[in-house]
Amino acid sequence: MTVHFPFQNSYSALPDSFFARVAPTPVAAPRLIKLNRPLAVQLGLDPDLLETPEGAEILAGKTVPSGADPIAMAYAGHQFGNFVPQLGDGRAILLGEVIDRDGQRRDIQLKGSGPTPFSRRGDGRAALGPVLREYIVSEAMYVLGIPTTRSLAAVVTGEHVLRETALPGAVLTRVASSHIRVGTFQFFAVRRDTDAVRRLADHVITRHYPELLTAERPYHDLLAAVVARQANLVARWLLVGFIHGVMNTDNSSISGETIDYGPCAFMDAYNPSQVFSSIDEMGRYAYANQPRIALWNLTRLAECLLPLFSDEQEKAVAEAQDILGAFGEIFSEAYQAGLRKKVGLFTMRDGDEALIQDLLDAMAKNQADFTLTFRKLGDAAADDGTEVRAQFMEPAAFDEWAGRWRARTSLEPQTPAERQAAMQAVNPIFIPRNHRVEAVIQAAVNNDDYAPFEELVKVLAKPFEDQPDYAAYADPPLPDQRVLQTFCGT
């Protein structure tokens, strides 16, 4: 039996300027490290066959499965605010698209599968560490309910890639509802190719926003829809303490999924200005800047769409501004609603927003762990709050706030147990903490030991469930375990 991929490709049917046809470059000795079996089944693939040597060869790019139409996608992008007219898939190759069990179209892409016409000075390869990081974090985001690309498999190539040192090479199989980015629109807009922008917009509407196919002003509504999805996405990030790290326009997905996990990280202690990425020297992509940056990126998307709005530039700009103006409210509503759930409020009252902000301020001042504070606050709904208080350097800061919180929650009819259960369902106990991710990567890279990776992935698969045998995975790092910086590793 050979592995069958039920490909139904649509992007490679678009005009030639949208991509470059390029096959993955074969590697020496592919070895499957991890297959996401449930995802394989969801995609209509046979997990047993993918686990055979032939499957590993496909997932490493050594063999191209039948029906694949491998391409590298063209895109441009603003990197840290600077526009680069041509980026493109420099180390990723889209094998093709399948329709999954829910009727959803999904891209299957190999990341790290060799050079493409867009590689510039890069080698087209990926190192094992970043591949494992993306696998862990993207799957963790998925079970947290946050829109994201997913990871189908990780293989080591049997070759080394040269970074600062020689590192084991690896390929990640990434699954996305598409890999179309804000930067994809910019690629054509900067070339003043309005036909291509329209063609791309039509493709995106058909694929991601089919409800707009019959709209009177489909391109305006497309912008509005992407604004809404991005605003909701960033709110979800903030609510779990996630920092993307490289919110360049080429890393901003048109479908509203989290994409391109590089130096991303979850914060431990709550700090709105937290930055982990080694290359983000100015803090452009700091935790609390993310909404502002998402809007900045959407403004770049709007600029691309202006010629589709109207021939009159002024009118088009005014319409775009009007649509972008909705971002703030959509974001705030999603963020505030999420926060209310995190602190266990079932209703909305005047003063709630200030009450919650006071908690966040006290957390920041007291270096309270973001994840554990909310989780243990859930327990405090049913007990005296000893554990949540312990998250604060000065526990008295919590006590003062807790009195007001208890007074507020007592206005609602829910029992303590009901409130606790509702809070546990939205406040995870397990997140991919940096020091855990680092330890897993070190074991794999230095000792070829994947047991820690397997265990971490297993624990993170149930982020809302207390898992007493793995309680230590909930702990923040000890001072000497703290990871202060993360790296792209490209």
Buried b / exposed e over 39-65, threshold 16 CB at 10 Å, is bbebbebbbeebbeebbbbbbbbbbbb
If one asks whether residue 356 binds ligand AMP (CB under 6 A), the answer comes out as no
Which of Mg ion, ligand AMP, none does residue 124 bind (CB under 5 to 8 Å by kind)?
ligand AMP
Number of residues that bind ligand AMP (CB under 6 A): 17
Identify which of residues 116 and 251 has a Cβ nearer to Mg ion in the complex: 251
SS3 of the chain: helix, strand, coil, percent, to 5: 45, 15, 40
At how many degrees (to 10) do helices 182-189 and 290-309 cross? 40
Interacting span for ligand AMP (CB under 6 A) from 83-91, 149-157, 318-326, 444-452:
83-91
Q: Which stretch binds ligand AMP (CB under 6 A): 114-122, 321-329, 389-397, 436-444?
A: 114-122
Looking at the Cβ atoms of 91 and 229, the one nearer to Mg ion is: 91
Q: Which of 100, 107, 250, 280 is catalytic?
A: 250
Q: Which of 6, 81, 122, 403 binds ligand AMP (CB under 6 A)?
A: 122
Please tell me whether residue 202 binds ligand AMP under the rule CB under 6 A.
no
Angstrom distance (rounded) from CA 102 to CA 90: 31
Report the chain's C-alpha Rg in angstroms. 23
Q: Which does 67 bind (CB under 5 to 8 A by kind): ligand AMP, Mg ion, none?
A: none
Q: What is the DSSP letter of 127?
A: E
Q: Confirm or reject binding of residue 124 to ligand AMP (CB under 6 A).
A: yes
Tell which residue, 326, 331, 402, 324, has the closest CA to residue 363: 402
Residue 53, binding choice from Mg ion, ligand AMP, none, Cβ under 5 to 8 Å by partner class: none
Report residue 28: phi and psi, to 5°.
-65, -60
Point out the residue whose Cβ comes nearest to ligand AMP: 122
- Distance of alpha carbon 398 from alpha carbon 135, whole angstroms: 36
- Please enumerate in sequence order all residues whose Cβ is within 8 A of that of 286, keeping only pairs 6 or more positions apart, or say none: 243, 272, 273, 274, 275, 280
Q: Which stretch binds ligand AMP (CB under 6 A): 121-129, 184-192, 210-218, 449-457?
A: 121-129
Binding mask 406-445 for ligand AMP (x = CB under 6 A): ----------------------------------------
Backbone angles phi, psi at 328, to 5 degrees: -55, -45
Taking the least distance from each CB to Mg ion, the nearer of 146 and 246 is 246
Confirm or reject binding of residue 244 to ligand AMP (CB under 6 A).
no
Diameter of the chain measured on Cα atoms: 66
What is the smallest separation between the CB atom of 92 and ligand AMP, expressed in angstroms? 6
Q: In this chain, which of 125, 174, 300, 436 binds ligand AMP, going by CB under 6 A?
A: 125
Residue 36, SS3 per DSSP: coil
CB atoms within 10 A of CB 448: 12
* For ligand AMP, the closer CB: 256 or 476: 256
Task: Identify which of 187, 178, 127, 208 has the alpha carbon closest to the alpha carbon of residue 442.
Answer: 127
Beta carbon of residue 250, minimum distance to Mg ion (angstroms, whole number): 5
Provide the pairing of β-strand 166-176 with 126-127: antiparallel
Our answer to whether residue 69 is catalytic in this structure is: no
Which of 63, 68, 71, 89: binder of ligand AMP (CB under 6 A)?
Answer: 89
Nearer to ligand AMP, 297 or 420 (CB): 297
Asked if residues 370 and 268 have their Cβ atoms less than 8 Å apart, the reply is: yes
Which of the choices Mg ion, ligand AMP, none does residue 90 contact, using the CB cut-off of 5 to 8 A by kind? ligand AMP
Length of the chain (residues): 490
Q: Confirm or reject binding of residue 91 to ligand AMP (CB under 6 A).
A: yes
CB 341 within 8 A of CB 334: no
Q: Does 490 bind ligand AMP (CB under 6 A)?
A: yes
Residues annotated as part of the active site? 250
Q: Which residues bind ligand AMP (CB under 6 A)?
A: 87-91, 118-119, 122-125, 246, 251, 260, 262, 488, 490
